[in-house]
Amino acid sequence: MKRAYKEAIVYQIYPRSFKDSNNDGIGDLRGIIEKLDYLQYLGINTVWLSPVYSSPMDDNGYDISDYCNILPEYGTLEDFKEMIFGMHKRGIKLIMDLVINHSSDEHPWFLAARRDINSPYRDYYFFRKGNKNGPPNNWTSFFGGSAWEYNPDTDDYYLHLFSRKQPDLNWENLRLREEIKKILKFWLDLGVDGFRCDVINIISKNPDLPDGKSKLPILRGKEHYLNGPKIHKYLNELKSDVFSYYDMFTVGETVMITPETALTYIEEGCDELNMVFQFDHMGVDNYYVKWFLRKFKPKRLKKTMRKWQTALDGKGWNSLYFENHDQPRSVNRFGNLCYRIESAKMLATYLYFQQGTPFIYQGQEIAMTNAHFTELSQYRDVETFNIYRLGRKLGFSDKRMMKKIKYMSRDNARTPMQWNADEHAGFTKGIPWIEVNQNYKLINVEKDRDNPDSILNHYRKIITLRKEYPVAIYGNYYEYYLKSNKVAVYERNFKNDRLLVVVNFTSKKVKFKPPYDLSTYQLILNNYDEEYEEQLLPYQAKVYYGKVFHDSGKG
């Protein structure tokens, strides 16, 4: 599937919040089946489905207790087969979320391992004796606190880099790796077209599990598992033993990675993975970790996007995302709620004409906003609760922690999809598992569908243009006005085709002089009805198309 991943336009579904078909307040597979025509209307050609496997739902499915079965609340394997058939019938591929750095602590492997040191599954996990009445080392969890949980039955500790209900799997164990390969084949044989590989670059740990150097209780020990010693061995094993036998593609979620390291996974010809989700641009409004907020500056975002566009150009392939189920809504972070429509269209234009595969998260196409929550009890996310507790223990006030949570909680992305102005936004006729955003009467799919100038229809125009103009996919990348904190201007060149993308990241009119004469170019996209010679309107975003017959671009 050499080009499929380059021509994919991916829509991420967070199943718990997408559509509830049986009114238990929880999204489900039959709800997705109800919305397949909507996905086709949107114009996407691939769905990334967040986990739907059996799970105690400690981390909303990223804690799997049976890798080859569907969570009953979400439906059955028969529903799954009907859903994937319906997707394929509409020309939509399906990539599944593969969570293989850890399982649930309710997985049968772990239940056996934690009870009996002689269990054959004992070595599927990291069980270690503590030292001096404490955990085996000083590593901390992504969710705050120690990365070790005491296990009374065998008087030792087990490693969990996420919640204590997500014990890390020991990839050193060949039998475990063979189990994982069987799981991959099970889903690929059901017709799945690929995988999004959850935190894939931390599956190989330094086998000695030494203490981390950091004095901060944040991600301490990361140097001993980030892009670990055998990561490429393991990925090449999955590729040679499984992936290479199927027409599929992969996107790896790789935390704290640089373009240079990413290329060791995705360089064309190496292709352990086809592309990665990196996090640099998710750090432009915070310091080091997302809970230390920082004012957003467009030039910082431009710098991170440019870094990846130029580093991968001609060598590897970018993923293009601003949102997913872990991130707050982009219109709150990088746009402006007073110009919600213009700025949401601007962000989509700026992002999706860059080089790489577009990933659109459910609700982003109508610029859903962060949740309205004010009480901790309105939240549902294990990370949010853990971070609140850790912050309070470290002396931060309730008010300070609630401010951080309001801006950065993952639940900002997990309020139910807003379909229409009916009760609960048409997501359910029951009581939703998490409150629907109170602005759903203003922001919903039905309202946008009927409005040709809506955000939804702007997304559909972008998707159509990406299909019509190969330069939008295969063009190189060259940027102008790099230092500007107001405008972003970049060019894509492919054969004799050129696109010039011009966006205003501010709420002010700005003076703007194009980098060259555009009189022979066609304005193919504009988020306003008008345009002015040497001026951009607030959050104005324009795309020009032209033919060039001399040296193409500067890139």
* Closest separation in Å from C-beta 121 to ligand TEU: 20
When CB distances are held under 5 to 8 angstroms depending on the partner's kind, the choice from ligand TEU, Ca ion, none that residue 162 binds is: ligand TEU
Which tokens go with 185?
């084949």
Say how far apart CA 263 and CA 257 lie, in whole Å: 10
Q: Which of 42, 52, 169, 199 binds ligand TEU (CB under 6 A)?
A: 199
Helix (H) / strand (E) containing 348: helix 340-352
By CB under 5 A, residue 24 contacts Ca ion: yes
Ordered DSSP codes for 330-341: HHHHTS-GGGHH
By CB under 6 A, residue 99 contacts ligand TEU: yes
How many CB atoms are located within 10 Å of the residue 85 CB? 13
- What are the residues whose beta carbons fall under 8 Å from the beta carbon of 398, sequence distance 6 or more? 392
Among 10, 11, 56, 52, CA closest to 30: 52
By CB under 6 A, residue 62 contacts ligand TEU: yes
| Residue 537: half-sphere exposure toward Cβ, Cα within 13 Å | 15
Helix (H) / strand (E) containing 195: strand 194-197
Among 108, 257, 252, 237, CA closest to 178: 237
When CB distances are held under 5 to 8 angstroms depending on the partner's kind, the choice from Ca ion, ligand TEU, none that residue 264 binds is: none
Strands 357-361 and 478-480: unpaired
When CB distances are held under 5 to 8 angstroms depending on the partner's kind, the choice from Ca ion, ligand TEU, none that residue 255 binds is: ligand TEU
Q: Which of 255, 366, 367, 471 binds ligand TEU (CB under 6 A)?
A: 255
8 Å CB contact between 17 and 434: yes
Stretch that binds Ca ion, among 18-26, 131-139, 230-238, 266-274 (CB under 5 A): 18-26
Helix (H) / strand (E) containing 346: helix 340-352
Say how far apart CA 72 and CA 542 lie, in whole Å: 46
By CB under 6 A, residue 379 contacts ligand TEU: no
When CB distances are held under 5 to 8 angstroms depending on the partner's kind, the choice from ligand TEU, Ca ion, none that residue 24 binds is: Ca ion
Q: Catalytic: which of 59, 105, 198, 237?
A: 198
Query: Percent helix, strand, coil in the chain (nearest 5)?
Result: 35, 15, 50
Q: Catalytic: which of 20, 79, 105, 253?
A: 253
* Closest separation in Å from C-beta 17 to Ca ion: 11
Q: Which of 9, 10, 13, 26 binds Ca ion (CB under 5 A)?
A: 26
198 is catalytic: yes
| Residue 362: half-sphere exposure toward Cβ, Cα within 13 Å | 28
When CB distances are held under 5 to 8 angstroms depending on the partner's kind, the choice from ligand TEU, Ca ion, none that residue 28 binds is: Ca ion
Report the first-to-last Cα separation within the chain, whole angstroms. Answer: 27
By CB under 6 A, residue 198 contacts ligand TEU: yes
* Closest separation in Å from C-beta 414 to ligand TEU: 10
Compute the residue count for the chain: 555
By CB under 5 A, residue 22 contacts Ca ion: yes
By CB under 6 A, residue 67 contacts ligand TEU: no
By CB under 5 A, residue 154 contacts Ca ion: no
Our CB check for Ca ion shows the closer of 91 and 430 to be: 430
By CB under 5 A, residue 106 contacts Ca ion: no
When CB distances are held under 5 to 8 angstroms depending on the partner's kind, the choice from ligand TEU, Ca ion, none that residue 99 binds is: ligand TEU
Stretch that binds Ca ion, among 28-36, 161-169, 202-210, 278-286 (CB under 5 A): 28-36
DSSP state of 152: G
DSSP state of 488: E
By CB under 6 A, residue 114 contacts ligand TEU: no
Our CB check for ligand TEU shows the closer of 279 and 481 to be: 279
Binding mask 270-309 for ligand TEU (x = CB under 6 A): --------------------x-------------------
Say how far apart CA 248 and CA 380 lie, in whole Å: 34
By CB under 5 A, residue 34 contacts Ca ion: no
* Side chain identity at residue 542, one-letter code: K
Query: How big is the CA angle at 347 (ends 263 and 471), to the nearest 5 degrees?
Result: 55
* Closest separation in Å from C-beta 143 to ligand TEU: 7
- What are the residues whose beta carbons fall under 8 Å from the beta carbon of 128, sequence distance 6 or more? 136, 148, 156, 157, 158, 159, 209
Say how far apart CA 194 and CA 213 lie, in whole Å: 37
Q: Which of 11, 28, 298, 379 binds Ca ion (CB under 5 A)?
A: 28
Say how far apart CA 53 and CA 34 lie, in whole Å: 20
Contacts with ligand TEU by CB under 6 A: the residue count is 14
Residue 50 CB-density burial (10 A; 0-12 exposed, 13-18 middle, 19+ buried):
buried
Our CB check for ligand TEU shows the closer of 149 and 156 to be: 149
By CB under 5 A, residue 149 contacts Ca ion: no
By CB under 6 A, residue 497 contacts ligand TEU: no
Is residue 74 classed as helix, strand or coil in its secondary structure? coil
By CB under 6 A, residue 326 contacts ligand TEU: yes
Stretch that binds Ca ion, among 20-28, 244-252, 325-333, 543-551 (CB under 5 A): 20-28
8 Å CB contact between 199 and 98: no
Q: Which of residues 396-415 bind ligand TEU (CB under 6 A)?
A: 410
Q: Which of residues 154-183 bind ligand TEU (CB under 6 A)?
A: 162
When CB distances are held under 5 to 8 angstroms depending on the partner's kind, the choice from Ca ion, ligand TEU, none that residue 199 binds is: ligand TEU
Binding site for Ca ion (CB under 5 A): 20, 22, 24, 26, 28
Q: Which residues are catalytically annotated?
A: 198, 253
Binding site for ligand TEU (CB under 6 A): 59, 62, 99, 142, 162, 198-199, 253, 255, 290, 325-326, 383, 410
